[in-house]
Every structure is written in C-alpha cells, then in structure tokens.
C-alpha cells in the first residue's frame, strides 16, 4: 500500500486535472481539424489523379482512412453506458419510435459530418444487434426503431379489436 501526504494527494489531483483539461482541448481540436484533413486529402488525391493523365481518370481515388478522433464523444449521461443501454433509455423516455439519426444526436456530441457518420454507423449496428436480442423492434420507416417494451400500435389495435369482437 502506498501512503501519500495530503499535499502530495492534492498535487496529484491538480496534475491529473491539468492533463485532463489538456486532453479534452486536444481532442476537441482534433475533431475540428478532422473535416479539414479529409478535404485536403481528397483534393490532393484529385490533383494527383489529374497529373497522372487522362488514361487514369476512370480510376477512383482511394478514400482516406477516418481521421484520428473522428468518433465523437458521448454526452456525459451516456458515457458509462453501452450504446444499447443508452438507446434503450432514450427510446423508453420518448415512448415513440425514433429514427436512428435522432438517437445518434441524443447520445453523441456531434461536431462534424464525419463524426455524425461514424457515430451513426455504430448506433445502427447496435440497434440491429439489439433488435435481434429483443431489446428493440423495427418501426415503420427506414432506420426507425422502438423499445421492445412499448407495444406496436398496429398490434395493440388488433388485440383491442379481437377483445371487443371486432368493434372499435
């Protein structure tokens, strides 16, 4: 067991806070630079293709890898949860089906189009996985999901009609 004095503990906490602030600032800056870097890579690729001559114009410029830090941070209330848990909480609170885009914006702090795209791929993948596990269900429309806890309106109407002998 390591023993430290109160002064040493305070110094460690201050050092940690300093590095944490620097980390957050650096990550924010990386997210701001990500679209610029992607655009510059694309422009360089386009210029390189033109310089190679007309015989190579049908070749596509390979897409650059996603920039460092492209995945946005989750909002504080969802950082300790899995994506499935966060989506389930959001859908349960809303009580109605939601489009995947809405769920992405509710979970993540979106600062760039690239960040949104990266987050959406992850969220849709997890929503599909959750659907297979019975946590979510598909709702009417593309990329629309609902909590499996809430009853599908069409099923509810069918059940009510059956219970009332076909009368609404």
Please report, for the domain that includes residue 138, its CATH number: 1.10.10.10
Same structural domain for residues 48 and 89?
Answer: no
Domain that holds residue 125: 76-160
The better pLDDT of the pair 48, 110 is held by: 110
Same structural domain for residues 90 and 41?
Answer: no
Same structural domain for residues 24 and 98?
Answer: no
In this prediction, residue 89 carries a pLDDT of 94
Same structural domain for residues 125 and 52?
Answer: no
Between CA 100 and CA 143 the distance in angstroms is 6
Task: Tell me which H or E stretch contains 160.
Answer: helix 153-163
The better pLDDT of the pair 44, 145 is held by: 145
In this prediction, residue 90 carries a pLDDT of 95
In-domain check, residue 104 = yes
Whether 120 has a pLDDT exceeding 70, the answer reads yes
Q: Residue 143 CA to chain centroid, in angstroms? A: 14
Same structural domain for residues 81 and 51?
Answer: no
Same structural domain for residues 80 and 148?
Answer: yes
Same structural domain for residues 46 and 111?
Answer: no
Asked if residue 98 lies in contact with residue 144, where contact means CB atoms within 8 angstroms, the answer is yes
Between CA 73 and CA 119 the distance in angstroms is 9
Same structural domain for residues 81 and 154?
Answer: yes
In this prediction, residue 83 carries a pLDDT of 94
Between CA 120 and CA 100 the distance in angstroms is 7
What average pLDDT does the chain have?
A: 81
In this prediction, residue 67 carries a pLDDT of 57
Beta strands in 54-156 (DSSP E): 98-99, 136-138, 144-147
Whether 56 has a pLDDT exceeding 50, the answer reads no
In this prediction, residue 20 carries a pLDDT of 80
Count of structural domains within the chain: 2
């Amino acid at each position: 067991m390591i023993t430290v004095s109160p002064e040493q503990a305070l110094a460690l906490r201050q050092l940690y806070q300093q590095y944490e602030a620097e980390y957050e600032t650096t990550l924010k800056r990386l997210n701001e630079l990500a679209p610029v870097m992607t655009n510059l890579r694309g422009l360089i690729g386009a210029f390189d293709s033109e310089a190679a001559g007309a015989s190579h114009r049908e070749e596509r410029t390979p897409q650059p890898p996603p920039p460092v830090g492209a995945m946005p941070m989750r909002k504080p209330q969802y950082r300790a949860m899995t994506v499935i848990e966060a989506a389930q909480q959001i859908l349960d609170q809303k009580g109605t089906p939601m489009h995947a885009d809405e769920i992405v914006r509710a979970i993540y702090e979106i600062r760039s189009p690239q960040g949104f795209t990266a987050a959406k791929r992850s969220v849709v993948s997890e929503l599909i996985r959750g659907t297979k596990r019975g946590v979510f269900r598909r709702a009417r429309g593309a990329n629309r999901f609902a909590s499996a806890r809430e009853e599908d309106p069409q099923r509810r109407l069918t059940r009510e009609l059956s219970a009332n002998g076909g009368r609404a």
